[in-house]
Amino acid sequence: MLCGLVLFAAYAAVANDSIQTLGTFIASNQDRKWWVLWIFIGGIFLITVGYSWLNYSGDVSHGRLLSKGFDKAPSEFHFCKLQLLYFY
């Protein structure tokens, strides 16, 4: 059961459902001390980020940003004039 929770929490962090998962995890474990829960949550976070850091050469996004157009940073940015008119 603990292994299932660890795998589920790791998936939830990667899938960007971490807020809902953390709330449910904390609410369902109210009988435990808060610092024990946060050590467990922090451990899962460190394992997830550490795995990505080691396997993707320092990229903590698990390689999701390695697509066309993300190979170099933009050198200039142009504001949309319609947005500027909306705010003024």
Distance separating alpha carbons of residues 51 and 58, to the nearest angstrom? 10
Secondary structure of residue 63 in the 3-state scheme: coil
Q: pTM for this one?
A: 0.52
Return the structure tokens found at 77. 């940015």
Cα(first)–Cα(last) distance of the chain, in Å?
56
- Per residue, what are the HEC states of 70-86? CCCCCCCCCCCHHHHHH
Find where tokens 């369902």 sit. Answer: 28
Tell me what the mean pLDDT of segment 47-76 comes to. Answer: 78
Tell the burial category of 62 from Cβ atoms under 10 Å away from its Cβ (0-12, 13-18, 19+): middle
Write the pLDDT tens digit of every residue in 42-55: 998 899 889 988 88
| 73 pLDDT higher than 70 | no
